[in-house]
């Protein structure tokens, strides 16, 4: 179980940005659509939105 947790941390903090930015570029360059990669991209999109939300919330809380 610890290994799965470690893999989730690696994906959440180090791999989400290359997947989030790179996969649309690869699709644009002619890569065939793969449902598994599309689902992984959606997970990365959710993580990016969560990070942006936390960043904006922290900035607003620091102003008060």
pLDDT above 90 for 53:
yes
Per-residue pLDDT tens digits for 36-52: 999 999 999 998 999 99
Place of tokens 């989730």: 8
Give percent of the chain above pLDDT 90. Answer: 50
Q: How many CB atoms neighbour CB 52 within 10 A?
A: 10
Under the banding of pLDDT at 50, 70 and 90, the label for residue 62 is: confident
The per-residue pLDDT for 39 is 92
The per-residue pLDDT for 58 is 92
């Amino acid at each position: 179980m610890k290994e799965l947790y470690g893999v989730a941390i690696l994906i959440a903090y180090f791999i989400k940005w290359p997947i989030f930015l790179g996969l649309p570029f690869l699709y644009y360059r002619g890569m065939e659509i793969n449902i598994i990669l599309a689902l992984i991209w959606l997970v990365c999109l959710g993580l990016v939105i969560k990070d942006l939300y936390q960043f904006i919330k922290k900035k607003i809380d620091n102003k008060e």
